[in-house]
Structure 1
Amino acid sequence: METMDTLRGRLLVATPAIESGPFLRSVVFLLDHDADGALGVIVNRPLESDVDDVLPDWAGLVNAPVCLFDGGPVAMDSALALGVVADDAPPVGWRQMAGRVGLVDLDGPLPVHGELSGLRVFAGYAGWGPDQLEAELAEGAWLVVDARDDDLISPQPETLWREVLRRQQDDVRFWTTFPDDPSAN
């Protein structure tokens, strides 16, 4: 079992135990995890909405695909942004979450070109109450793995679930062959 202080900045990868709902085959980047619960964003769920439709000033800074992402089922009417800093000088309004990844203040000044190597805007987030995530981990609903900066800004987010599993060193790699609908197998 993972300890709470090790989960921030890591990925939760949905296992085949999650058979439906918003977390089916999801990859979640954990922004926070403590005794009060956990908070993260789903990084592999692009939406049909363009960033230009809701935050036109930010659209030029978002890397492909230039759309909003479904960050999770909580507060879908709010937006948050994750940015990966390009060097050691983060932009104004960037708050470190883990490594080079941080939250970007969408109400603050726009980052200068080159300060971020990638930016994603999420509608909503994923949240767990106290001990809820730990219970789901114990049930086998999630696999906890190390995150790479590129996971958060993948140009092909719809393939990220399989890519993250494929790079693991144990038998969980075989989950990539798990059919979308096991009953149709």
Structure 2
Amino acid sequence: MGLWEDVERIAASAAGLVEDGEQVEGVVPAQAEPDERTYLCAFVRDQERTWLVLDDESAEVTSRDVVRRTASIIALCELAEERAGGGDLQDLREQLVALRLTERPEGIEEAEEAALELERTIGSPPRLAEPAYLDRVGAAARRLELALGPSAGSPFAEAMKQGSAAVDELVRDVETHYRSTLD
């Protein structure tokens, strides 16, 4: 069974848990640890969001540590997707094409190739939020940075550091608005 089918299966399980006036807003798969596949489910009613983590067997997760790991790796992966390549890969790729056509600077093909590789690495949903995905996005972002020219440090790494508050905020929100009691 593929990831898409797994997400659909978990979404159907989550739909069975909705209360009156509530709906499942989203399901994000994660694997913060090897052999620990979890799914962060968002429920919404009257613009109020609650959260629940289900395991691969559709059972509710009540371990605070597992819930934190799940929310954290998902937030980190989403942050990486948003910040890689300056935040708008399509726009960057268009700018690189225009630059190649008008000025033809040395190394522009490398930069275009690196931007395309980063876009492919990020991929399209559903994606499994896991440390290996973060590593792949980070490596592809660094290749793009190097192709664009030398700089003091990595803008992507700096953006990830600056985004740590957003990661912490999601983890707090998930814990605060969790649908079950956490151990």
**Structure having the larger proportion of residues in helix:** 2
> Could you say which TM-score interval applies, normalised by the shorter chain?
under 0.3
Question: Normalized against structure 2, the TM-score is what?
Answer: 0.25
**Structure having the larger proportion of residues in strand:** 1
Bigger Cα Rg = 2
Question: Normalized against structure 1, the TM-score is what?
Answer: 0.25
